Amino acid sequence: MSKLKNRFSLKDVEVMSKENCHSGFLNIEKLYLKHRLFEGGWSEVLQRELIVKDEAVGILLFDSFRDEVVMVRQFRVGLLDKQVIPWMLELVAGMVGEGESTEQVAIRETREESDCVPIELVKIFEYFNSPGTSNEKITLFCGRVDASCVEGVHGLTEEHEDIEVVVLPFEEALAGVESGLINNAMSIIALQWLKLHKAKLLDRWH
């Protein structure tokens, strides 16, 4: 059996109770559960808090002719206690609404946050952002765009968005990952994916 294959399943977890303990910008549930152990038997009953979030989509916007990526910069409260400037350079991203596909979200969010429309979308992959504390699942795309006229400040007023569009040469964005100026998981993953798959993507898009 491949070591990639997991021997456990959902049948190896027993949730005794679940309750909502906070509803606001974040929704938090408290769970009491136990699970099977690698060496046999069951764990003790554990208390865990879970941040419950809708599925999210991130889109790396890439102009393959100009060799530029389109990113966005916006305020992030999670950086306030890190003694760093809380405006983060990141991908266009958003949450999946009821009845929406991830592709539809990618197109909608690109329009809202960068005022452009991807000509084509390539799915990168799906991953779980922080499974120790949250159920958030993220789907990443690479979107083909024309970056020649992309600029400005965008976002939805009713969602208090204040989003600056930043167009970077691809190599400069990679250098930003190396230097730590681009330091969020979604952006790092997508930019490194593009570095690995760029030649194949250029063949497809040109």
Q: Is 5 within the bounds of a domain?
A: no
- Taking alpha carbons only, the member of 148, 130, 127 closest to residue 138 is 127
Q: 44: domain range?
A: 10-52
pLDDT of residue 9: 95
pLDDT of residue 156: 82
| Under 8 Å between Cβ of 114 and 161 | no
Whether residues 15 and 99 fall in one domain? no
Confidence band of 92 (pLDDT split at 50, 70, 90): very high
Whether residues 82 and 172 fall in one domain? yes
Q: Is 88 within the bounds of a domain?
A: yes
pLDDT of residue 136: 96
Give the CATH number for residue 112.
Answer: 3.90.79.10
Q: Is 116 within the bounds of a domain?
A: yes
Whether residues 85 and 153 fall in one domain? yes
Q: Is 69 within the bounds of a domain?
A: yes
Whether residues 61 and 36 fall in one domain? no
Over the range 173-189, which residues count as b (16 or more CB within 10 Å of their CB) and which as e? bbebbeeeebbbebbeb
pLDDT of residue 93: 96
Whether residues 69 and 38 fall in one domain? no
- List, for residues 16-58, the tens digit of each pLDDT value: 999 999 999 899 999 999 999 999 999 999 999 999 999 999 9
Whether residues 134 and 175 fall in one domain? yes
Measured between alpha carbons, how far is 114 from 71 in angstroms, rounded to an integer? 8
pLDDT of residue 57: 98
Q: Which residue has the tokens 């159920």?
A: 135
Confidence band of 82 (pLDDT split at 50, 70, 90): confident
Whether residues 160 and 144 fall in one domain? yes
pLDDT of residue 158: 82
Confidence band of 118 (pLDDT split at 50, 70, 90): very high
Amino acid, res. 105: V
Whether residues 102 and 197 fall in one domain? yes
Number of structural domains found in the chain: 2
Whether residues 101 and 194 fall in one domain? yes
Measured between alpha carbons, how far is 50 from 55 in angstroms, rounded to an integer? 15
Over the range 20-45, which residues count as b (16 or more CB within 10 Å of their CB) and which as e? eeeeeeeebbeeeeeebeeeeeeeee
Q: Is 159 a catalytic residue?
A: yes
User: Which member of 19, 39, 159, 178 is catalytic?
Assistant: 159
Whether residues 88 and 179 fall in one domain? yes
Whether residues 28 and 103 fall in one domain? no
Mean predicted lDDT score pLDDT of the chain: 94
- List, for residues 128-183, the tens digit of each pLDDT value: 999 999 999 999 999 999 999 898 888 888 878 889 999 999 999 999 999 999 99
